[in-house]
Amino acid sequence: MVREMEGAGLPTVFFSSIPAIPLAFGATRILPGRAIRYVLGDPSLPLDRERHVRRRMVEAALQALGQPCPRPTLLSLPA
Amino acid sequence: MRLEIASYQVKDVRFGAATRLRDGVLEIDADELRRLLLQDPALDDVTVALARPGESVRIIHVLDTVEPRARMSQPGTDFPGHLSPPLTVGEGRTHRLAGVAVMETAELPLSLGGLNVKEAIVDMSGPAAAFTPFASTLNVVLTFKVCPGLSYAEYDAAIRHAGLRAAVHLAEVTRDLPPHEVETFALGPSSPDLPRIVYTCLLCQEGDVHHDFVYGRTVDETPTLVHPNEFLDGAIVNGEHHIAAYLKPTFFHQNHPIIRELYRRHGHELTFAGVVLTKCLTWSNFDKQRSASFAAKLARLLGAQGVVISAGTGGHAVADLMLNCQEAARAGLKTALTCFEMAGDRGDEFGFVTYVPEADAVVSTGNMDELIDLPPVERVIGGTTIIDIGDYEGGGGAAALGALTTAMRRLYCCTSLVGPGLMTTRPV
Amino acid sequence: MGTLRIVHYLNQFFAGVGGEKHANVAPERRHGAAGPGVPMQKALGEAAEIVATVYCGDDYFNVNGEAAIARIVELIAAEAPAVVVTGPAFASGRYGMACAAVGQAVEERLGIPAVTAMATDNPAVELYRRSLCIIPTGESVATTGEIVERMARIALKRGRGEPLGRPDDEGYLSRGIRQNVIVPQPAAVRVVDLVLRKVRGEPYTTEIPLPDVDPLVPAPPLRDLKTATIALVTSGGVVPRGNPDRIEARRASRWSKFSIAGLDDLSSRDFECIHGGFDNELVAADPDRVLPVDVMRELEREGSIGRLHEYCYATVGAGGPIERARRFGRDISAELLAAGVQAVIMTAT
């Protein structure tokens, strides 16, 4: 899906908990989700800390949108 | 480890005054069997029915299927971790009733989280018979009614134990009889010039309806090694009741097609170097990668040049299969995989959930989305109505006696991932 | 068996009427074989007769669409053929489309089998290969001799109602359809055969070829985050409570569009997770775990991004086909672009 969006002119970032999948199917900017059951979350943390984790992941995504990405690439999240 | 399996060929099965094997006919005292199984207070009732190849019979709500086996050399060691202490098996002498399968059926309450028990159908005749391996076995079908008020896990365990108990009980008839055939399973010496092949078996665990048991515990995150005889002798028990088509019931661990094929060629075309067990359907990419890399390393430690990897189940477990393939390939091993296809009801969609470029040698066990028309039958065992959960499969809610059109995903084991089946796909 | 009747469809050039100048000639029929039909008739021998050749200018066909098809079908029907052959079109796009469209029309409207031929990268192939028997050709008309022989052979079979062999054996394009069949050896034996071939360095064939992924021209990266409008899309199945767009729990056939205007986050009171492919309890408890509205809204307020687009798009990705996912992607992009969205963050489980 996201490959078509990229092709239509919209830069995309794809959070996937199984990066092998978008890598095979051709999404460009791929960021690892945390787990299948909570892509951008962490239920082991209290809500404000979980939100902080989520925010840092989204910020990494927004940063990546500003970078060119010619090939499917698994990007890493900041530590 | 050296295992002798003595086979007793059964030509027919019927009810009788006593449970015994006479002239190739298995006679079953149904009341005795019922009493034995109803010792478990979780079970309210069990009925025993017989289904023979060619009969106009449909069996529904199938759970696990077990081949009647009893370990003769050491009493009280059957199905370790379930009926007996979790101690190593795979040596000594075990008897089997060949041509018979014990099937568990029950209408179970839906389990949690959207992962439900799916419908599983066996037709003993008609167009579906060619696609279900158990259309050619004499089936002793146990239909369970569970007592209300217990947890799903308790029902599941009670039914599983009852099926295993019934399998041992029936095989006991062979104790003092001469067998038709004795096969010996031992990894004897093999030329170092022959290619060393490892079999990596993906097993799963998730929620209540995906369980593969290894000596009574579900498989865990760190891959491990087993001797192939452990599969053949009851160490691996199935508790997966999700999509029927690609299941690997206990019967197919006892008669594991890939293990038997590797054994058959051991010393002639290849050296069967061992079996790696690894978990699939893990919830995070971290665990998927960790298990895949670890399993590849175990294969390397076994000196493998090639590895056969069987898919464990569907959904994102296909990602596990592919990652195992990728890690093994990166470790320098030649890989060949088994997997099912979800190619749409017209067969025109790419069949895999995902793939890796290294997956260039895959054997397809068939497209489970293809539709099949089942005719009406004279008798149904196991219930009255086809289960339908959501509109995913279509055809649900239909009366089981009547004609119905269903995706082949409801046909029990038609695309079984350990490879017993003759079904595959071809392009047209 | 009587002589099989065949009608051959050509464009104006191959029918010998003329070149590009005559591309707008209306459908016509003439008796017997013409152009490549002549060597085809030789290949058919006594077994079949090309009783008529129907031709139409490529431009005329292109412009008149249905009207042209209807007239061509009428002309063909009057000859009562057992099979219709169209082309070969080789690399010609307009002609290829016409050949394929005529072939399909004849099958659907007259119930007569059709056979066509064109280069594998002819645009008509992708559109018609599933429903039509297409013989692959190279680009060059120099191969006409071999091609018309193959067309003759396959046309005879189809005209007689004989089943065709496998695509590779018979010489036509696989329709991209896979059917379940029973084979002599179980999968367990086949997979051991396969691994041994690989280890020995022998040639091997996979039973499931991997798809070719066309090269993608990626979008230019986002220039200015602070003024950008960004949309959130997911295949994780988070939708408004009640699932008003009726998205299916697996292999969803459609997507849901819903407004998050005025919302600072997604609550389990107003949103639910209907994805049937995993244990979705944790996402249901806090849908921001899949559609991070809470965090995006914060960033919007701070001015780190221009705007969070007021609509979210959701579907369920469990077990869906590639073509459908592509279609969703195209449809959703069209809406997003029209709404002035400049980038997308997508999540999947």
Give yes or no for residue C138 having a pLDDT over 70: yes
Q: What number is the ipTM of this complex?
A: 0.96
Confidence bin at C321 (pLDDT 50/70/90): low
Q: Report the amino acid identity of residue B376.
A: P
Tally of domains in chain C: 2
From B74's Cα to the closest Cα of chain C, the distance in A is: 31
DSSP C234-286: ESB-EEETT-TT---SSS-SS-EEEE-TT-SS--TTTEEE---SS--HHHHH-
Residue of C173, C178, C250, C254 to mutate, testing the B interface (most B Cβ within 10 Å of its Cβ): C178
Rounded to whole angstroms, how far apart are CA atoms B11 and B26?
Answer: 8
C123 with C241, same domain: the answer is: no
Which one of A17, A20, A33 has the shortest CB-CB distance to B356? A20
C149 with C78, same domain: the answer is: yes
In chain A, residues with a C-beta closer than 8 Å to the C-beta of C285 are 43
Beta bridge partners of C231: C344
Give yes or no for residue B254 having a pLDDT over 70: yes
DSSP C23-57: TTPPPEEEES--TTHHHHHHHHTTSEEEEEEEEE-
Per-residue pLDDT at C123? 86
C20 with C137, same domain: the answer is: yes
Rounded to whole angstroms, how far apart are CA atoms C266 and C288?
Answer: 6
In chain C, residues with a C-beta closer than 8 Å to the C-beta of B348 are 130, 175-178
DSSP C47-112: SEEEEEEEEE-HHHHHHHHHHHHHHHHHHHHTT--SEEEE---TT-HHHHHHHHHHHHHHHHHH--
DSSP C171-228: TS---S-EEEEE-SS-HHHHHHHHHHHHHHT-----SSPPPPPPPP-PPPPPS-GGG-
Closest to C56 (Cα-Cα) out of C46, C64, C48: C64
pLDDT in tens, C199-247: 999 999 999 988 877 777 888 999 899 999 999 999 888 899 989 988 8
Phi/psi-derived region of residue C4, left when phi > 0, alpha when psi is between -120 and 50, beta in every other case: beta
Tally of domains in chain B: 1
**B283–chain A Cβ distance below 8 A for any pair:** yes
**C338–chain A Cβ distance below 8 A for any pair:** no
- Full domain range(s) for residue B335: 2-410
**C339–chain A Cβ distance below 8 A for any pair:** no
Confidence bin at C5 (pLDDT 50/70/90): very high
C160 with C239, same domain: the answer is: no
C156 with C261, same domain: the answer is: no
Rounded to whole angstroms, how far apart are CA atoms B121 and B124?
Answer: 10
Whether residue A39 and residue C349 make contact (CB cut-off 8 A), yes or no, is yes
pLDDT in tens, B12-47: 999 999 999 999 999 999 999 999 999 999 999 999
Give yes or no for residue B157 having a pLDDT over 50: yes
From C98's Cα to the closest Cα of chain B, the distance in A is: 24
pLDDT in tens, C277-300: 677 888 888 999 999 999 999 999
**A18–chain B Cβ distance below 8 A for any pair:** yes
Taking the alpha carbons of B304, B212, B355, B349 in that order, is the dihedral positive or negative?
Answer: positive
B:244-273 residues touching chain A, CB 8 A cutoff:
none
pTM above 0.90, yes or no: no
Whether residue C179 and residue B347 make contact (CB cut-off 8 A), yes or no, is yes
Whether residue A66 and residue C347 make contact (CB cut-off 8 A), yes or no, is no
- Full domain range(s) for residue C101: 4-170
User: Would you say residue B415 lies in a domain?
Assistant: no
User: Would you say residue B421 lies in a domain?
Assistant: no
Instruction: Answer for the pair B386, B404: CB distance below 8 angstroms, yes or no.
Output: yes
Cis geometry, peptide bond prior to residue C88 (ω within 30 degrees of 0): yes
For helices C58-77 and C93-110, what crossing angle results, to 10°? Answer: 20
DSSP B387-416: ---TTSSS-TT-BTTS-EEEEGGGBTTTT-
Beta bridge partners of B101: B139
Per-residue pLDDT at A79? 63
**To the nearest whole number, what is the mean pLDDT of chain C?**
90
User: Would you say residue B258 lies in a domain?
Assistant: yes
pLDDT in tens, A24-41: 888 899 999 888 888 888
Confidence bin at B390 (pLDDT 50/70/90): very low
**Domain CATH for C139:** 3.40.50.2300
- Break chain A into its structural domains and give their ranges: 2-69
User: Would you say residue C204 lies in a domain?
Assistant: no
Phi/psi-derived region of residue B22, left when phi > 0, alpha when psi is between -120 and 50, beta in every other case: beta
Identify the DSSP state of B126: S
In chain A, residues with a C-beta closer than 8 Å to the C-beta of B283 are 35-37
Beta bridge partners of B341: B367
Q: Calculate the alpha carbon distances from C180 to B131, B184, B345, B375, C130 in Å.
A: 10, 35, 11, 19, 17
Q: Calculate the alpha carbon distances from B61 to B109, B141, B243, B293, B366 in Å.
A: 12, 11, 11, 37, 22
Give yes or no for residue C322 having a pLDDT over 80: no
**A34–chain B Cβ distance below 8 A for any pair:** yes
User: Would you say residue C187 lies in a domain?
Assistant: no
Write out the two tokens for C310.
């007021």
pLDDT in tens, C18-38: 888 888 899 999 999 999 999
C127 with C245, same domain: the answer is: no
In chain C, residues with a C-beta closer than 8 Å to the C-beta of A9 are 219-220, 333, 337
Measured between alpha carbons, how far apart are the two ends of chain B, in Å?
Answer: 47
Q: Quickly tell me which residue has 């996912």 as its tokens.
A: C325
Identify the DSSP state of B72: -
Whether residue A24 and residue B288 make contact (CB cut-off 8 A), yes or no, is no
User: Would you say residue B250 lies in a domain?
Assistant: yes
User: Would you say residue C219 lies in a domain?
Assistant: no
